[in-house]
Amino acid sequence: MATDIREIDTGTGFDRFARGWHCLGLAEDFRDGRPHAVDAFGTRLVVFADAGGELRVLDGYCRHMGADLGAGTLRDGRVACPFHGWQWDGGTGRCAVVPYAKRTPKLARTRTWHNAEINGQLLVWHDHEQDPPPPDLLPPAIDGFAEGRWSEWAWRSELITGSHCREIVDNNVDMAHFFYIHHAYPTYFKNVLDGQTATQLMHSKAREDIFGDSPYYHPDSLLRSEATYFGPAYMINWLHNDLGDGTTIEVVLTNAHYPVTQDSFVLQWGVAVAALPGAGPGQTRALARAFSAKFSEGFLEDVEVWRHKTRIDNPLLTEEDGPVYQQRRWYEQFYLDKSEVTADMTARYESEIDVRHARREWDAEIQRNLLERR
């Protein structure tokens, strides 16, 4: 019997959801005069705009008889249950009106969820200890977004089943998958873990065997990427696209997710392009949609892998695979009580991968692929 076989440890999984800010979608999509049901964190939420236009998030099931408030209506800025008409205030969580009753029960109160709008998106705070969010943990505003210096978001979302959302966070340190999934190869790759942030710094070039026939391909093009997770579920990725002809297009990508159950999550990504000299808003929006379509191809290839892979808690790594275990240790802090978070989970850690060997092998593979087509 062989004793040197590497067995896969699938682990025990998480028994709670991550503490932190989670993006539910574009804020304006919830301001259409009706309540919206959102399945998240193993339960159902209801999102709606109150009479003043402020977005509110409540538990989604009515405390009277358990009906779905997302199937209700809005009355005077409150969400009215479709079953018996009880009206729930989004700011206090209290039932303000029971239309057919002389008195509203004193105990008629539901849970309100802390939320915030940033970068045109609605974020909701989850904490299994039920503490409010510290002010310094809200993800930052994208410079110039509120002032209109970027296009509107080209937005996509995808429900992923059969996988935990840790899978997408692992990608932050996964240098090699960019060649096989995203059809580029890194020329520089570094990770920095620090406190509640996890950053990926990368320079990459498009694969000539994949994109060489495109009129937009240039051998001297370079993508300079700075991507940071602000907490466990919300990433901002600043992308500087040097086209090889002296032109640089500035793109920002938000890569966000929220858990539905312990083995499913909603992945969302949005692309915005900085205003270009001489280009009107329509041209900039079209460019954002084009970038989004290209990024979406890669995301959906990731999704296809996740849907068929197994959970693995003991991945077998090479030195070019990046600090997977260190980042997972960083990620673990969001699933523990705050009193249980240890210093090694939040301490600053830097790792730069030597990509020279990988580049030589990938260059050779690209040249073989090109020769086979001639």
Q: What percent of the chain has pLDDT over 70?
A: 99
CA atoms within 13 A of residue 211's CA, in its CB half-sphere:
16
Distance from C-alpha of 146 to C-alpha of 131, rounded to nearest angstrom:
29
Report pLDDT digits (tens) over 76-120: 999 999 999 999 999 999 999 999 999 999 999 999 999 999 999
Distance from C-alpha of 277 to C-alpha of 281, rounded to nearest angstrom:
11
Report pLDDT digits (tens) over 3-22: 789 999 999 999 999 999 99
Report pLDDT digits (tens) over 248-303: 999 999 999 999 999 999 999 999 999 887 777 788 888 899 889 888 888 899 99
Quickly state the pLDDT bin for 122 (edges 50, 70, 90).
very high
Our CA angle for 24, 149, 118, nearest 5°, is 25
Averaged over 136-163, what is the pLDDT? 95
Work out whether the CA dihedral 329, 269, 208, 192 comes out positive or negative.
Answer: negative
* Per-residue model confidence (pLDDT) at position 56: 98
- CATH among 3.90.380.10, 3.40.50.300, 3.40.50.920, 3.40.50.620 for 154-373: 3.90.380.10
What tokens appear for 100 in the block? 């057919």
CA atoms within 13 A of residue 151's CA, in its CB half-sphere:
29
Q: Is the pLDDT of residue 318 over 60?
A: yes
Residue 241: name the closest of 202, 197, 183 by CA.
Answer: 202
CB 266 within 8 A of CB 158: yes
Q: Please provide the average confidence, as pLDDT, over all residues in the chain.
A: 95
* Per-residue model confidence (pLDDT) at position 280: 77
Q: pTM here?
A: 0.95
* Per-residue model confidence (pLDDT) at position 2: 62
Work out whether the CA dihedral 178, 195, 20, 154 comes out positive or negative.
Answer: negative
Distance from C-alpha of 72 to C-alpha of 66, rounded to nearest angstrom:
12
CB 110 within 8 A of CB 58: yes
Domain assignments of the chain as residue spans, ordered by start: 20-137, 154-373
* Per-residue model confidence (pLDDT) at position 1: 55
Averaged over 188-210, what is the pLDDT? 96
Q: What percent of the chain has pLDDT over 90?
A: 86
- Class assignment of domain 20-137? mainly beta
